[in-house]
Amino acid sequence: MLRKGAGGRVLIYSHDSFGLGHLRRCRAIAHALVEREKNLSVLILSGSPIISSFDFRARVDFVRVPGVIKLRNGEYTSLNLHMDIEETLALRSSIIEHTASIFNPDLFIVDKEPLGLRGEVEGALKVLKDRGTRLVLGLRDVLDEPTQLITEWRRKKVAPALRQLYDEIWVYGLPQVHDPLAGLELSQAIRRKAVYTGYLRRTAPPSPASQLLPEMVKRPYILVTTGGGGDGEGLVDWILRAYESKAFIPYPALVVLGPFMQPERREEFLARVEKLRRVEAITFDAHIETLEQNAVGVVAMGGYNTFCEVLSLDKRALIVPRTRPRMEQWIRADRAQELGLVRMLEDDGTYDPETMAEALRELPKQRLPSEVVIPGLLEGLDNVHRLAAPWLRRDEDDARAARA
């Protein structure tokens, strides 16, 4: 298919419908690429219901496919449309394939799910493969326990997709921290496609965080963030119990509940916060990096993006990882604690106030992540650009060859 207009094009697929992790990672990559490539256009495919809440740089845009949500029994259902899930998935797949066909990218990056949600990206991958588009699977540093992942990838027929469709696998981490492909049943041919980029460096935006923030942010505070908030109730409850206990804690807390927290739990937490003099809470801020940068320390569940921000902004962090439905956060936090980058506090289900209060007292005494030297730790965005660049300048190369 002939393409009008100069400049390279990158298509990025994020299967997020619930949570923020995949979308924020894809957005960081998109922004880094257009910053380094002045004639590049990047289009993000996402099912996130709050993608429009984020700001995007010039030459970055998005197409939002109809949202779906995963129920507690593991099944999916349409988020907003009164449609059968199979119809919704067929609609998503059609939008993805048609967008890929018309946008005609030089590079297609698929985030985490090799064939997309329920295989919805397979058609687009095959169309673009026939056109010579560079196809890349992007993986975070930790996926899950190998035994769980082996079963999942067999069911989803991942190995044939990696072998037949993908040109490269970009792992946004370092094997000396954790190798997400270790222990999996992958051939050497597939393993040779893997490139470890390092973690994706983040910066606080030049614009200030939301003007609706409480007065607390003008003095030292501990930031508590649950990411999307859909599974962050335990952490918030534990933090509030610590402050409710009247135990000595050297700094007040600003709690970001997350946009996907259940409304009834959010209201319950806000009512408890109202009674506390040294705790404030907000639901969401698209510029969470600014809040992290200004905090004396961060308490979080330890998702990939938060971990990158803690490293990039050089913040002392207390990580309270979840263990269901995946062990991803626990594996990351355990290894990071072993390296001395963060401290981990395991959730034993009791939420003892003094245990959390003691951890918060110790937080300002932790060493900074920058005191641990790991070569290449935060070079991920530079390496992503280095890997992408040859495929984004083919029009320029063709033009130079024609002139010659």
Is the per-residue pLDDT at 106 higher than 60?
yes
- pLDDT tens digits, one per residue of 327-341: 999 999 999 999 999
8 Å CB contact between 278 and 255: no
- Please tell me the predicted confidence (pLDDT) of residue 302: 92
- Please tell me the predicted confidence (pLDDT) of residue 97: 98
- Please tell me the predicted confidence (pLDDT) of residue 3: 62
How many domains is the chain partitioned into structurally? 2
171, 231: one domain: no
8 Å CB contact between 273 and 256: no
323, 347: one domain: yes
Length of the chain measured in residues:
404
226, 323: one domain: yes
Domain range spanning residue 308? 215-371
- Please tell me the predicted confidence (pLDDT) of residue 110: 98
Q: Give the Cα separation of 354 and 242 in Å (integer).
A: 6
141, 255: one domain: no
Name residues whose C-beta falls within 8 Å of residue 34's C-beta, 6 or more positions apart in sequence.
Answer: 40, 41, 42, 57, 58, 59, 60
Q: Lowest mean pLDDT: which of 62-66, 322-326, 383-387?
A: 322-326
Q: Give the Cα separation of 203 and 212 in Å (integer).
A: 21
Is the per-residue pLDDT at 60 higher than 60?
yes
Q: Give the Cα separation of 130 and 138 in Å (integer).
A: 20
196, 239: one domain: no
299, 226: one domain: yes
Q: What are phi and psi of 14, to 5 degrees?
A: -125, 120
Would residue 319 count as lying in a domain?
yes
The pTM of the full predicted model, rounded to 2 decimals, is 0.92
- Please tell me the predicted confidence (pLDDT) of residue 134: 98
Percent of the chain scored above 90 by pLDDT?
79
- Please tell me the predicted confidence (pLDDT) of residue 18: 63
Q: What are phi and psi of 79, to 5 degrees?
A: -75, -50
Is the per-residue pLDDT at 245 higher than 80?
yes
Identity of the amino acid at 273: V
The position carrying tokens 């062990």 is 327
Place 404 in a pLDDT band, splitting at 50, 70 and 90.
Answer: very low
CATH of the domain at 347: 3.40.50.2000
8 Å CB contact between 222 and 298: yes
